[in-house]
Amino acid sequence: MKLGLKMAENRWVEPILAALVLLTICHTIWHLVTYHYLPQPFFYEPGDAWMDWFNTAYWARDEGTYDVWGTVYPPLSFVFFKLVGIGACYPGAEGLDSRDCDWVGAIVMNAWCLLNALIFWKTYRKHDRSTALYRAFILAFGMPMADAWERGNVIIVCFTCFILAHGPLLKSAKLKWLLAGLAVNFKVYLIASIVPYVLRRRWRWFEGALASVILIYVVTWGLLGRGNPVTLYENIVIFSQPMQATSFLDVWFAATYQPVISLLNGMSTFPVMAILGSDRTEILIFLLPLITHIVQATIVLAAAAAWLRPEVVPMYRLVGLITSLAIITSEPGGYTAVIVLMMALFERWEGIGRRIAIICCYILSLQYDIYIDPLNPQLKAGFLGGQPVLYQYWVTVGPFLRPGLIMLIPFSLACVTLRAVWLDIRAQGWRNRYRFRYDAPLLTEGGAKQSSIA
């Protein structure tokens, strides 16, 4: 009876939230047609659309990939881009011409995004048919993935491997190991996504995925001929240094508060004090790092609790929590929120913590921002609109709100995990009476069985 009431309650909540996301997508399309560029919070250089894809494709054919460009991408990305583009479009100088020439790369990039949408729908449909359409829609076309699409970032390809490796569509463990290895070799920080399998005592899965990571790296290193471990490690160390925001543009679409904290510390010419006042600025300088550390500590505590009672914590939640920890500890870009959203959207609409996380997913998917104050407009080159544009910059709420929502998702689910483990310990004592198996049915707080993901 209680489950029926919860389903009835959610019958209108998620459709309305999905409709709001659709409304903002319509606004984005209208803005592009009217002003010939995408509105904030899309990237602030309208002439640079898709260039993450084509710049990477250029450096796949240039010997200075690691020592000149200083990339943190393992060799797999460059081997991939060599296979999906027209080599003749990448002459001896980096530039925008390749984007207009390499039509194969453009088709592959856009087709891959549509393929992801289909995979998302099939994944969530297998997990929960009642919410599959809404959740797949916001994941495929919401702001994080739309931003990755506009940038043409390699996360488009990486995310396909990630969701197939950790989702319910595939049954073969060996195939999942391969896909997990591919995901990590596309985005290094996703090494965190295989750690949760240790917490669930899935040693063979962890060892298989780790072996896949190493094997794919060695093979693609040999194929590319550059990208040795020492150079890659040095580039990662340099890249992981705290970000120094020099203007408001550096906080445009971030996943963490690192750029905002740098901006508040007065490391830019942007008049933060004049807008917020010295008292508010000092409070934020103290508060924002504190919030980040609290979230990180809560996730670590939830991981420790999951080690004690792995049978009460779903695999998808563990993967989401540990991967979120890696994301909010670094600054990999706002589009990486799509990974946080993907795992959180496996949660059921029940309890306070899970509902908060799901609602945050919908809010983060809105292709909209709240404008505070206009900045000087600038004449910019355009690409998607096909002509130069007069770009109107704004100070917006998003850079200050979005990282908090990204952190609120794993924080809420970490609290749900801690409560579930505590209830289980209170019911049966510190000694676990269950003989846990990695493929055993998972238990919710009420003791009801639910299926396992991955």
Taking only Cα atoms into account, the Rg of the chain, rounded to an integer number of angstroms, comes to 22
* 442 beta partners: 450
- Looking at the chain, the whole-number percentage of residues with pLDDT higher than 70 is 87
Model pLDDT for residues 243-288, shown as the tens digit of each residue: 666 667 777 788 888 888 877 776 555 666 556 666 777 788 888 8
- Count Cβ neighbours within 10 Å for each residue of 356-371 and write b for 16 or more, e otherwise: bbbbbbbbbbbbbbee
Range of the domain at 145: 2-450
Strand locations in 306-446, DSSP E? 371-374, 378-380, 389-391, 394-396, 442-443
Number of separate domains in the chain: 1
Query: Is 102 within 8 Å of 83 (Cβ atoms)?
Result: no
Please give the model's pTM, rounded to 2 decimal places. Answer: 0.90
Residue stretches of the chain with pLDDT short of 70: 1-9, 92-95, 242-247, 266-278, 431-454
| Residues 248, 109: Cα–Cα separation, whole Å | 30
Can you list the alpha helix ranges (DSSP code H) found in 96-187? 97-101, 103-127, 129-141, 143-151, 155-166, 173-186
Residues 151-165 as b/e (b if ≥16 CB within 10 A, e otherwise) read: bbbbbbbbbbbbbbb
pLDDT at 281: 74
What gap in Å lies between CA 294 and CA 284, rounded to an integer?
15
Tell me the per-residue pLDDT of 67-80, one tens digit each, with 9 for 90 and over: 988 899 999 999 99
Burial 297-309 (b: 16+ CB within 10 A, else e): ebbeebbebbeeb
Residues 50 and 156: their CA atoms lie apart, in Å, by: 12
